[in-house]
Structure formats: structure tokens, C-alpha cells
Amino acid sequence: MIKGILLAVDLQNGFLITPECVAVVPKVVAHASQFHQVWATRFFNRNPNFSRQVNWNEMVSGHETELSYALIGVVSKMFDKLSYSPMSPALLQALQRDAITTVAVCGVDTDACVMATALGLFDAGFETFVVSDACASSGGQEYHEAAINILKRNIGEKYVISFSDLPTMLSLGLAIN
């Protein structure tokens, strides 16, 4: 078991709109036991820039903002956010309080909130992995792959992994047991 967490980014009903995005949820459930804990983020569209600059008015309230029902029994902590990144005093304090130094990031959208989350954690000094086979983009595979390539460049190629890489990562000492 990794003495770190899996941070599931924005696996909410309103983002699970493509088969690729929907497929992330059962992967998280299937691999949750490999981690110390699974935490999640939820996005709420309250920033006027999303409406004004991107003309996007979804994810305000209701069913679309709810975490996928399949994750309810898996997620131990949830952090609400109003931006691409969940980096907030509440998240940072929780990570420090629980002595978490390693975070594996998964979720949707790879090219938006997943990337912002991974880069924010990296910038804050956490050993940060991105589980690429547990990420997807509602914009399609092209956006997902572009984001994965950018993440490989910016957090290190060996830190962009798949769930099947976890045993190797542990044996190399790249993640804390």
C-alpha cells in the first residue's frame, strides 16, 4: 500500500459525459486499496471567468456537481473548489496534518483540472504522480494525450504512470510505502 493518497479530481456526474471519462471511475474503485486513502475534489462553477471568457455555464449546482455514486464508499475526504486547481489552505493543511508526502492524481479533465492539480502539488513540494490510465478528457483523446505529454515534461516522465506501474514504482522506492 502506498503511504500516500490517490486524489481523484472532479469525478462528478456533470464531467462523466464521454465513455472515456466514465471509464475512470471503476478504475479508481478497483485500485483504491493500493493507497493509504482516496481523496476527491469537486468543482463548482462560481468563477465568472468560466462564463465570461469560456462561455461555459455548467457545473453550478445539483446532480451534475455530485460525486459519482460509485465513489461514495471509497473516498475518505472531499475538497470543493471554484477553480481548475484545488490548491487551497484546506487541502494543504489536510495533507500536512496526515503527513502525506506522495500524491497520485487521477480524474477528469486531464487537460484542465488534473494538470492544474498535478502542477500545483509539484510546486508545493509533494512527490506527485499522474495515473494516466485513470485520467480522461471530455474534449477527447487528443486533449488527454497532449496534457499527458506536457505533464511528462513538467513533473518528470517517470512520474506519469499507469496503475499497472505501481508495483514497479514501489520496488524502486519512488513512492512511500
- Checking if the pLDDT of 177 tops 60, the result is no
Domain residue limits, the chain: 2-171
Instruction: Using a pLDDT cut of 70, give the percent of the chain over it.
Output: 91
Is the bond preceding residue 80 a cis peptide, omega within 30 degrees?
A: no
Q: Tell me which architecture the domain covering 2-171 has in CATH.
A: 3-Layer(aba) Sandwich (3.40)
- Checking if the pLDDT of 132 tops 50, the result is yes
The pLDDT of 10-27, averaged and rounded, is 97
pLDDT band at 167 (very low <50, low <70, confident <90, very high): low
- Checking if the pLDDT of 174 tops 60, the result is no
Burial of 91 (0-12, 13-18, 19+ CB in 10 A): buried
CA angle, 150 as apex, 145 and 65 as ends, to 5°?
Answer: 65
Give which of 78, 70, 150 is closest to 110, Cα–Cα.
Answer: 150
Helix H or strand E segment including 118: helix 115-123
Query: Average per-residue pLDDT in the chain?
Result: 91
| pTM for the predicted model, two decimal places | 0.92
Q: What is the CB neighbour count within 10 angstroms for residue 78?
A: 13
Decide if 170 contacts 164 (C-beta within 8 A). Answer: no
The pLDDT of 47-72, averaged and rounded, is 86
Measure the CA–CA gap between 68 and 111, rounded to whole angstroms. Answer: 20
pLDDT in tens, 66-99: 999 999 999 999 999 999 999 999 999 999 999 9
Is the pLDDT higher at 37 or at 2?
37
**Hey, what's the cell of 76?**
475518505
